[in-house]
Amino acid sequence: TSRHLETLKPFKDEIEALGRKAFPVELDVCNYNSIQQLVDTVAHEFGTIDILVNNAGCNIRKPALEITWEDWNTVLDTNLRGSFFMAQAAARKMIP
């Protein structure tokens, strides 16, 4: 997944060159609807979700005294809210 689908094309091509299936999907973990859409799409495509690699994250490369409210919200939205709601959405498809 990526927020920018076009960045996944080289990886898709490399995976498919090895004879495997690649399924690139656009995702913004800061957007609740994007999370829900991804989980629904994956469950529809594969029938179930067996595992979640929840590795989205960001940091702000500024001195602490220069970090803005918006900067910090981006960190929280990505690293905390996004990770939690991604796990929750996937778990709803995993748990019968």
Give the CA count within 13 Å in the CB-facing half-sphere of 49.
22
Structural domain harbouring 12: 5-94
pLDDT at 3: 87
pLDDT at 51: 94
- Does the pLDDT value for residue 95 go beyond 90? yes
Give CA separation, 56 vs 33, 50, 85, in Å. Answer: 16, 18, 12
* Number of domains observed in the structure of the chain: 1
Q: Is 88 helix (H, G, I), strand (E, B) or coil?
A: helix
| pLDDT, tens digit, 9 for 90 and up, residues 2-55 | 889 999 999 999 999 999 989 899 999 999 999 999 999 999 999 999 999 999
Task: Provide the CATH number for the domain around residue 29.
Answer: 3.40.50.720
Query: Which residue carries 């990526």 as its tokens?
Result: 2
| pLDDT, tens digit, 9 for 90 and up, residues 59-91 | 999 999 999 999 999 999 999 999 999 999 999
Tell me the whole-structure pTM to 2 decimals.
0.82
